[in-house]
């Protein structure tokens, strides 16, 4: 008999026709009218126009494992992909590409340029995901449930605005003038969650001051000499004996000649600089807290745009950096500097543009969150987290929140805040839901002010923080506001998969926003993953030259080696993965082995009816059913590493090296030493085990299993149910352990090999333990035993 599988090996060329067929036949399309249970995945929308990096390739592939597994479990899987097209990165790309600046470009024109850039933007990310065999519900952009969504579409922005209108009406939004984090690079306020700390080198300038009452000279060291004008007090540590005599006296600001009190305070560190510190408005967090505590009136010297204002006197109009340089220059020229040194300073920086954060006083809209802390912890406790350790990141973050969330921003390409104001009395006009609004260029939805009857209005010009948009993604994908019937039926969303670096932002904000709108946990499961590093454990970066491009991986090896590698390499739920081309290539051996085994098994055609089985057959079926049970349990918990590693071991060792060897002669039955029924039993079992293996692996390696399953069993693997363990076998005892049987054969083979004999060489007499009696016929044939006896231990005479 010839094998049904003609090709000698798996080739990456087999992948494309399968991919095309999936797409053409819309195999994974979602029908929102489905009667089956829905499993919904709130996939993170990757940023448009950015090539997919290896970390995304790995984690979205694991999301695809989940989607494919759940389909085989009988769910209708809602697995939409979105593209994030809002916000700063687009604006920055526009400024660069068209050489314009947002400040000098009219809004209308600037937005047109954003749209132009987005039209030309590549869909490279989609191409990578397509090549990797991902089974998103649609590749087409649209507003239907399951279609590819854009975060800047009118439909998405409308939903964001509707959630805002709801929050506004329930009193969750307020406007306040407060000190906010301000990034001079992004030219907007940013949230605490977007701040990172970096050790930056800065100039520590020791400046000479005077004490008014005594005329003595004191030295105060600072990294922010440009903020001397905002100094409200000079302090020393109460334990610092050098300055006790200065208590209650006054220090005179250099250049500005203003006086401020000198007081003892524990925030001053004896060992830092001279031990004296000038307390400025908004130099850093400590200063902010200090001013609040001492009830000092802050002097704001930095404008919203990051330039110095009139309080800074001669520095007015300069950027903070220029002002600092200028100040040092002036101090030097007046001989007011004692010394200058370089120090490393732990500095808050913007996580996007890396600019040091400034603190400015600015009016913004706030979303209440401090009154929600307990509720968010409570809903989090009703969600299953994978892993528990990652949940702690969320809880710790909630614990540290100390301010409400400033949600307004001064940018252009983002969702507009849907509000108008009466020019006469200042009344705020909130539009009805149902439309996407652009108040900066549209008329309000009312003709007259309901309060004063005024007819002139001003549209709000600010937009939302992009997290205000992205934090409604599960609501959007489940049809909130668009398909309310489906939304009610499908909430909570089954799964949020995401990286641990955005727990404080995306995850927290989503839980907050959904809770405020629905009063429920929005997710059933949250899966949080670690990162992908290079083989030495370093972060991949262009400058290190260790970047692995997923498209290059696919070009070299195809999708399948990469996919199986994702499962075999480790469990990214618990720790980082290390990646290299060699490791991925190494994983492709698994495919070769699987192909060879399947090809061999495909030589033997199974009959439809099930024959009575021999003990050897029952043993291997017990094994594969045990593995099926374990696999299914692990997949349910988003663990793909352990079961696939165990499957690999089963395929190579238990199935190929032992069971196949034990039943080969029975399956061929060339010398007619077995009955027809016995032969059929072996053939049946070989096929049954192979079929189970293919089904268990189908979510992981969908291409090769698709082809093998179709060629051998004539059916479509994506349409099959995930194998359930068969109790008929799992409960049964075989009389011997798998390990014992494998050891028995291995020792016999080794004995022959040691004597330089072939594995088929005859054994004149063998003594084997009694527990193997039930499989003696297979053992005799496999090992060519001419005389068999039973005893306690294995003994063979060659
Ligand atoms: Zn920034
Ligand atoms: Zn009015």
Ligand with smallest separation from the Cα of 189: 1
Residue 167: closest CA among 398, 402, 404:
404
CA–CA gap between residue 795 and residue 798 (Å, rounded): 10
Tokens of 308: 């110095």
State the DSSP code for 103: G
CA–CA gap between residue 189 and residue 409 (Å, rounded): 6
Report the separation in Å between the CA atom of 190 and the middle of ligand 1, taken as the mean of its atom positions: 8
CA–CA gap between residue 613 and residue 627 (Å, rounded): 20
Ligand with smallest separation from the Cα of 456: 2
Whether 726 has a pLDDT exceeding 80, the answer reads yes
C-alpha distance from residue 728 to each of 497, 523, 568, 654, 725 (Å): 37, 37, 30, 20, 9
CB 363 within 8 A of CB 175: yes
Report the separation in Å between the CA atom of 441 and the middle of ligand 2, taken as the mean of its atom positions: 19
Report the separation in Å between the CA atom of 163 and the middle of ligand 1, taken as the mean of its atom positions: 26
Q: What is the pLDDT of residues 239-294, one digit of tens each?
A: 999 999 999 999 999 999 899 999 999 989 999 889 999 998 766 667 777 887 88
CA–CA gap between residue 692 and residue 703 (Å, rounded): 16
CA–CA gap between residue 558 and residue 71 (Å, rounded): 24
Report the separation in Å between the CA atom of 430 and the middle of ligand 2, taken as the mean of its atom positions: 13
Report the separation in Å between the CA atom of 323 and the middle of ligand 1, taken as the mean of its atom positions: 20
Report the separation in Å between the CA atom of 436 and the middle of ligand 2, taken as the mean of its atom positions: 24
Please tell me the predicted confidence (pLDDT) of residue 112. Answer: 96
- Helix ranges (H only) for 650-721 are 661-668, 676-697, 702-713
State the DSSP code for 312: G
Report the separation in Å between the CA atom of 285 and the middle of ligand 1, taken as the mean of its atom positions: 18
Q: What is the pLDDT of residues 427-481, one digit of tens each?
A: 999 999 999 999 999 999 999 999 999 999 999 999 999 999 999 999 999 999 9
Ligand with smallest separation from the Cα of 349: 1
Report the separation in Å between the CA atom of 362 and the middle of ligand 2, taken as the mean of its atom positions: 24
Please tell me the predicted confidence (pLDDT) of residue 158. Answer: 98
Mean pLDDT for 514-541 is: 95
Report the separation in Å between the CA atom of 544 and the middle of ligand 1, taken as the mean of its atom positions: 24
Report the separation in Å between the CA atom of 182 and the middle of ligand 1, taken as the mean of its atom positions: 8
Report the separation in Å between the CA atom of 449 and the middle of ligand 2, taken as the mean of its atom positions: 5
Whether 5 has a pLDDT exceeding 70, the answer reads yes
Percent of the chain with pLDDT strictly greater than 70:
99
CB 267 within 8 A of CB 241: no
Q: How deeply is 395 buried, as exposed, middle or buried, from its count of CB atoms within 10 A (0-12, 13-18, 19+)?
A: middle
Tokens of 703: 């291409």
Please tell me the predicted confidence (pLDDT) of residue 731. Answer: 74
Report the separation in Å between the CA atom of 292 and the middle of ligand 1, taken as the mean of its atom positions: 26
Q: Which helix (H) or strand (E) holds 778?
A: helix 776-783
Percent of the chain with pLDDT strictly greater than 90:
81
The whole-model pTM stands at 0.87
Report the separation in Å between the CA atom of 413 and the middle of ligand 2, taken as the mean of its atom positions: 29
Report the separation in Å between the CA atom of 422 and the middle of ligand 2, taken as the mean of its atom positions: 5
Ligand with smallest separation from the Cα of 421: 2
Report the separation in Å between the CA atom of 315 and the middle of ligand 2, taken as the mean of its atom positions: 40
Whether 557 has a pLDDT exceeding 80, the answer reads yes
CA–CA gap between residue 455 and residue 450 (Å, rounded): 10
Report the separation in Å between the CA atom of 82 and the middle of ligand 2, taken as the mean of its atom positions: 41
Ligand with smallest separation from the Cα of 425: 2
Tokens of 87: 């916000």
Report the separation in Å between the CA atom of 489 and the middle of ligand 1, taken as the mean of its atom positions: 40
Q: What is the pLDDT of residues 610-660, one digit of tens each?
A: 999 999 999 999 999 999 999 999 999 999 999 999 999 999 999 999 999
Residue 495: closest CA among 93, 163, 77:
77
Please tell me the predicted confidence (pLDDT) of residue 283. Answer: 64
Report the separation in Å between the CA atom of 397 and the middle of ligand 1, taken as the mean of its atom positions: 21
Ligand with smallest separation from the Cα of 350: 1
CA–CA gap between residue 611 and residue 617 (Å, rounded): 11
Whether 750 has a pLDDT exceeding 80, the answer reads yes
Report the separation in Å between the CA atom of 635 and the middle of ligand 2, taken as the mean of its atom positions: 60
Whether 392 has a pLDDT exceeding 70, the answer reads yes
Ligand with smallest separation from the Cα of 191: 1
Q: Which helix (H) or strand (E) holds 365?
A: strand 358-367
Whole-angstrom Cα Rg for the chain: 35
What value does the mean pLDDT of the chain take? Answer: 93
CA–CA gap between residue 278 and residue 330 (Å, rounded): 19
Please tell me the predicted confidence (pLDDT) of residue 279. Answer: 93
State the DSSP code for 308: B
Report the separation in Å between the CA atom of 179 and the middle of ligand 2, taken as the mean of its atom positions: 29
Report the separation in Å between the CA atom of 389 and the middle of ligand 1, taken as the mean of its atom positions: 30
Ligand with smallest separation from the Cα of 185: 1
Mean pLDDT for 572-594 is: 95
Report the separation in Å between the CA atom of 448 and the middle of ligand 2, taken as the mean of its atom positions: 8
Report the separation in Å between the CA atom of 79 and the middle of ligand 1, taken as the mean of its atom positions: 32
Count Cβ neighbours within 10 Å for each residue of 413-425 and write b for 16 or more, e otherwise: bbbbbbbbbbeee
CA–CA gap between residue 504 and residue 493 (Å, rounded): 20
CA–CA gap between residue 295 and residue 239 (Å, rounded): 23
Q: What is the pLDDT of residues 66-114, one digit of tens each?
A: 999 999 999 999 999 999 998 888 888 899 999 998 888 999 999 999 9
Report the separation in Å between the CA atom of 752 and the middle of ligand 1, taken as the mean of its atom positions: 71
DSSP assignments along 459-480, one per residue: E---EE-HHHHHTTHHHHHTTT
CA–CA gap between residue 201 and residue 279 (Å, rounded): 21
State the DSSP code for 349: E
Q: Is 148 helix (H, G, I), strand (E, B) or coil?
A: strand
Report the separation in Å between the CA atom of 459 and the middle of ligand 2, taken as the mean of its atom positions: 13
Report the separation in Å between the CA atom of 108 and the middle of ligand 2, taken as the mean of its atom positions: 27
Report the separation in Å between the CA atom of 177 and the middle of ligand 2, taken as the mean of its atom positions: 22
Rama region for 282: left / alpha / beta (φ>0; ψ in -120 to 50; rest) = left
φ, ψ dihedrals at 301, nearest 5°: -110, -5
Q: Residues 6 or more apart from 569 whose CB is under 8 A from it?
A: 577, 578, 579, 583, 587, 641
Whether 581 has a pLDDT exceeding 70, the answer reads yes
Report the separation in Å between the CA atom of 419 and the middle of ligand 2, taken as the mean of its atom positions: 14
């Amino acid at each position: 008999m010839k094998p049904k599988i003609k090709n000698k090996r798996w080739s990456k060329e087999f992948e494309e026709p399968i991919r095309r067929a999936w797409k053409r036949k819309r195999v994974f399309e979602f029908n929102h009218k489905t009667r089956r249970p829905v499993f919904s995945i709130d996939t993170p929308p990757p940023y448009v126009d950015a090539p997919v990096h290896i970390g995304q390739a790995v984690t979205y592939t694991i999301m695809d494992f989940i989607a494919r597994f759940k389909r085989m479990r009988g769910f209708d899987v809602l697995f939409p992909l979105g593209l994030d097209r809002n916000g700063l990165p687009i604006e920055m790309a526009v400024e660069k590409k068209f050489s314009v600046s947002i400040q000098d470009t009219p809004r209308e024109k600037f937005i047109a340029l954003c749209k132009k850039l987005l039209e030309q933007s590549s869909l490279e990310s989609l191409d990578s995901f397509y090549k990797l065999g991902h089974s998103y519900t649609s590749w087409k952009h649209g507003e239907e449930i399951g279609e590819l969504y854009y975060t800047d579409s009118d439909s998405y922005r409308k939903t964001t605005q509707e959630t805002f209108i709801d929050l506004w009406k329930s009193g969750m939004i307020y406007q306040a003038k407060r000190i906010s984090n301000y990034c001079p690079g992004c030219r907007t306020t940013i949230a605490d969650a977007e701040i990172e700390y970096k050790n930056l080198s800065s100039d520590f300038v020791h400046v000479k001051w005077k004490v008014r009452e005594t005329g003595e000279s004191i030295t105060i060291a600072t990294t922010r000499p440009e903020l001397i004008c905002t100094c409200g007090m000079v302090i020393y540590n109460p334990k610092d004996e050098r300055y006790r005599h200065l208590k209650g006296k006054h220090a005179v600001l250099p250049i500005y000649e203003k006086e401020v009190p000198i007081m003892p305070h524990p925030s001053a560190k004896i060992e830092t600089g001279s031990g004296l510190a000038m307390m400025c408005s908004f130099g850093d967090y400590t200063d902010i807290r200090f001013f609040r505590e001492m009830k000092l009136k802050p002097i704001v010297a930095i404008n919203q745009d990051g330039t110095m204002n009139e309080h800074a006197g001669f520095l007015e109009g300069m950027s903070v950096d220029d002002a600092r340089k200028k100040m040092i220059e002036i101090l030097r020229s007046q001989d007011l500097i004692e010394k200058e040194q370089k120090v490393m300073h732990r500095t808050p920086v913007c996580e996007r543009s890396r600019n040091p954060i400034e603190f400015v006083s600015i009016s913004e809209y706030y979303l209440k969150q401090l009154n929600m802390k307990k509720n968010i912890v409570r809903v989090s406790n009703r969600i299953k987290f994978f892993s528990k350790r990652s949940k702690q990141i969320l809880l710790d973050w909630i614990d540290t929140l100390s301010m409400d969330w400033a949600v307004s921003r001064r940018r252009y390409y983002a969702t507009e805040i849907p509000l108008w104001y009466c020019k006469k009395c200042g009344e705020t006009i909130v539009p009805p839901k149902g439309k996407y609004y652009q108040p900066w260029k549209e008329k309000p939805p009312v003709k007259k002010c309901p309060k004063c009857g005024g007819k002139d209005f001003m549209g709000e010009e600010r937009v939302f923080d992009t997290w205000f948009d992205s934090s409604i993604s599960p609501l959007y994908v489940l049809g909130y506001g668009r398909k309310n019937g489906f939304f009610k039926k499908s909430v909570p969303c089954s799964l949020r998969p995401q990286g641990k670096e955005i727990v404080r932002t995306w995850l927290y904000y989503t839980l907050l926003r959904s809770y405020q709108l629905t009063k429920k946990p929005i997710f059933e499961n949250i899966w949080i993953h670690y990162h992908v590093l290079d083989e030495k454990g370093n972060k991949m970066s262009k400058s290190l030259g260790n970047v692995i491009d997923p498209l290059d991986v696919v070009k070299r090896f195809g999708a399948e080696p990469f996919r199986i590698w994702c499962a075999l390499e480790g469990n990214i739920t618990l720790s980082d993965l290390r990646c290299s081309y060699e490791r991925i290539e190494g994983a492709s051996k698994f495919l070769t082995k699987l192909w060879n085994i399947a090809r061999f098994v495909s030589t033997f055609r199974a009959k439809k009816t099930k024959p009575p089985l021999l003990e050897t057959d029952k043993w291997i079926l017990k094994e594969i059913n045990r593995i099926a049970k374990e696999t299914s349990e692990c997949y349910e918990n988003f663990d793909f590493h352990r079961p696939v590693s165990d499957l690999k071991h089963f395929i190579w060792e238990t199935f190929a090296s032992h069971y196949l060897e034990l039943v080969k002669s029975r399956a061929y039955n060339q010398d007619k030493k077995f009955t027809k029924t016995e032969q059929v039993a072996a053939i049946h079992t070989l096929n049954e085990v192979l079929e189970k293996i293919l089904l268990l692996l189908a979510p992981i390696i969908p291409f090769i299993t698709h082809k093998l399953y179709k060629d051998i069993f004539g059916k479509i693997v994506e349409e099959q149910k995930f194998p359930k363990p068969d109790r008929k076998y799992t409960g049964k005892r075989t009389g011997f352990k798998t390990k014992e049987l494998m050891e028995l054969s291995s020792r016999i083979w080794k004995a022959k090999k040691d004597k330089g004999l072939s594995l088929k060489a005859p054994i004149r007499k063998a003594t084997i333990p009694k527990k193997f009696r039930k499989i003696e016929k297979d053992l005799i044939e496999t090992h060519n035993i001419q005389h068999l006896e039973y005893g306690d231990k294995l003994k063979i005479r060659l």
